[in-house]
Structure 1
């Protein structure tokens, strides 16, 4: 699951910046070499699961941590010992530790429920559409990976398994997206229901009427707002 990858990246970042609490002089700062690995892991997360707030934040934080530790990386590459940590570096490390802990907590809170039933196998497909409710929608070109206005996912079981003659269409709550409902959709498909899941981001269906309406932000913004304002529930 995506949450395991997110927690791993943020834990490694926590370890990298927490090293100043236990690493002393005359020691080789080998832990800092994990920083570039965090960048790679974040890129793999985005490649596998797409861009959202936490995966994007993990990549940005990994890059910043790597750049801020460039001096330590250079010294370790040159087989040199730790010289000292500046007060500014200690302050930055403390900030990063706090950010990493908060990110781990958010990753766990927003983690979807895992479907541990793997049989029968579920087949998932995605069709994207462009347009709006005024003029209608048309299927987006398959070679176009830019922003789309509608994402329609289909969940079915293997053709050789008899399915129910019922189609279920799911349109998520404004605080949810495909990640939130993915395991429930799999369970419906495993029980023989052909299931469709639709996400709308059309220009005339904006809920927040701001930049936060984009696919990667809307869910988490609505969740955070709903904590303080019941009208967002």
Structure 2
């Protein structure tokens, strides 16, 4: 809608709803029931819904934080409204707090527009599964059963071939990214007649939990938190990071095997497009299933902005990418916040001009032509 993603529109909508709550002292001078204050708890509910539906991100954390702040600021007003009391005046302290919060929200709206995500040319067909690596995965879900896998199909996957009769492509993201992070790249493949099948797993049969314990292990088991948590694991301390990286690689091997099983239901042969640590998994699968896996394509090749743990976040989640970029840059000598911001936007503009997602699709197309 309007060239914006649904999640972005939802975040902007919640922030805009908060402004009338904070600016109401400017428009009401006489006694009245302060009913508009009920919008503040509604915004908290909407913020939670955004996180559940679209997953955790810095923009949704900021949106939720503002919703909570506005609710706390208007707590007395909520109590008055619940007691059916009318409002005679607003205290000076409330007016100052409301003015400051309004200014912060307006500035946040401007920042969000600068960091708005790119919208893929085509959204994939999504299928949800329940199950496990041990017992297999079944399409569909029950009311009291957790979703353990979400697959994404770009192009005509049902026949296992594209319109130009090419094999299916199974995409494996790097250890610190998800398939959803590469939706702009993968949707560009459909314009070249390439069919892509990929997925994100939210199950742990003793894989990752052995390296991450307690509350942190739960963050990798749910779609609303796994993506955000993975993005920031790359900046963990070196000892912890190496241990978790090996666990993630082991987990990715099991995930790749399961994806091949599902892809085998509608494909006679396929090519694996993988990047980073997933490349070694892809080569192992090609060696194991040489008649089924025709080749392995390095999907990070030709992407000058690609780094482990960032993937396509410059496009699909710019604000999260900025926080990760800032963590990397702040250790540089003479690095300032303003300079980091300028370098980030310079890299982002360079990526938008070069349109690496299109180069990726072209390179994959050429690779598939070469192995026909």
- TM superposition score category, shorter chain reference: 0.5 to 0.7
Rounded Cα–Cα distance in structure 2 between residues aligned with 1:106 and 1:115: 21
Pick from 188, 193, 196: which aligns with 1:194? 196
Match of 1:103 in 2: 108
- The equivalent residue for 2:67 is 62
- Indicate the structure with greater helix content: 2
Is the partner of 1:113 in helix, strand or coil?
A: coil
Aligned to 1:227, the other structure's residue is in SS state helix
Q: Secondary structure at the match of 2:41?
A: helix
Asked whether the 8 Å contact 2:121–2:187 carries over to 1, the reply is: no
Tell me the distance in 1 between the aligned counterparts of 2:43 and 2:186. Answer: 31
Aligned to 1:185: 186
Contact 1:54/1:103, CA 8 A, preserved across alignment: no
Q: Which runs of 5+ in 2 are unaligned?
A: 1-5, 138-144, 201-226, 239-308, 330-339, 348-372
Structure 1 residues 208 and 67, CA, compared in 2 at 3 Å: closer, same or farther? same
Say if 1:179 and 1:14 are closer, same or farther in 2 by CA, change over 3 A. Answer: farther
Q: State the TM-score, normalized to the length of structure 1.
A: 0.67
CA 1:88–1:228 in 2, change beyond 3 Å: closer, same or farther?
Answer: same
Partner of 2:70, secondary structure, is helix
| Contact persistence 1:153–1:197 (CA under 8 A) | yes
Displacement of 1:219 after TM fit?
1.4
**Of the two, which has the highest radius of gyration?**
2
**Aligned-partner Cα distance in 2 for 1:34–1:84:** 20
Pairwise CA distance, 1:107? 2.5
Is contact 1:54–1:107 with CA below 8 Å preserved after alignment? yes
User: Residue 166 of structure 1: CA displacement?
Assistant: 6.0
**Aligned pairs, how many?**
208
Shift of 1:32: 0.8
Does 49-58 or 22-31 show the bigger shift? 22-31
TM-aligned CA distance change 1:155 to 1:51, over 3 Å: same
Distance 1:155 1:60, change over 3 A: same
In structure 2, distance between residues paired with 1:42 and 1:72:
21
Deviation of the 1:81 alpha carbon? 1.6
Distance 2:51 2:199 in 1: 21
- Per-residue deviation, 1:209: 6.2
CA deviation profile, 1:12-62 (whole Å, cap 9, x unmatched): 111211112212231221211101100110000000011111111211221
Q: After TM superposition, give the deviation of residue 153 of structure 1 in Å.
A: 7.3
Per the TM alignment, residue 155 of structure 1 is displaced from its structure 2 partner at its CA by: 4.1
Q: Which runs of 5+ in 1 are unaligned?
A: 127-137, 146-151
TM-score when scaled to structure 2? 0.45
